Amino acid sequence: MADSVRVLLTREQLAARVRALGAAITADYQGRRPILVCVLKGSAIFMSDLARAIDLPCSLEFLRVSSYLAESQTSGRVDILMDLDCDISGRDVIIIEDILDTGLTLDCLRTRLLARNPASLAICTLLEKPARRRVDVPVDYVGFQIDDVFVVGYGLDHAEQYRNLPYVGQL
Residue 10 has pLDDT above 60, yes or no: yes
pLDDT at 2 over 70: no
Q: Could you tell me the pTM of the whole model? A: 0.92
pLDDT for 90 equals 97
| Amino acid 83: pLDDT | 84
Does 34 score more than 60 pLDDT? yes
* pLDDT score of 115: 96
Catalytic positions:
101
Lowest-confidence region among 9-13, 129-133, 141-145: 129-133
Exposure pattern of 3-20 as b/e (b: 16+ CB <10 Å)?
A: eebeebbeeeebeebbee
The lowest-confidence range among 16-20, 102-106, 120-124 is 102-106
Cα separation values, 148 from 12, 76, 77, 153, Å:
22, 18, 21, 16
Cα torsion through 139, 51, 29, 119, rounded to 10: 70
Residues 6+ apart with CB under 8 A from 32: 56, 92
Burial class (CB in 10 A: 0-12, 13-18, 19+), 24: middle
pLDDT tens for 67-105 read 754 545 555 677 888 888 899 999 999 999 999 999 998
Q: Which domains does the chain have, with CATH numbers?
A: 11-148 (3.40.50.2020)
pLDDT single digits (tens) 49-74: 999 999 999 999 999 988 754 545 55
98 and 155 Cβ atoms separated by less than 8 Å: yes
Residue 90 in contact with residue 35, Cβ under 8 Å? no
The Cα 70–Cα 48 span in angstroms is 27
- Report which residue type is found at 68: Y
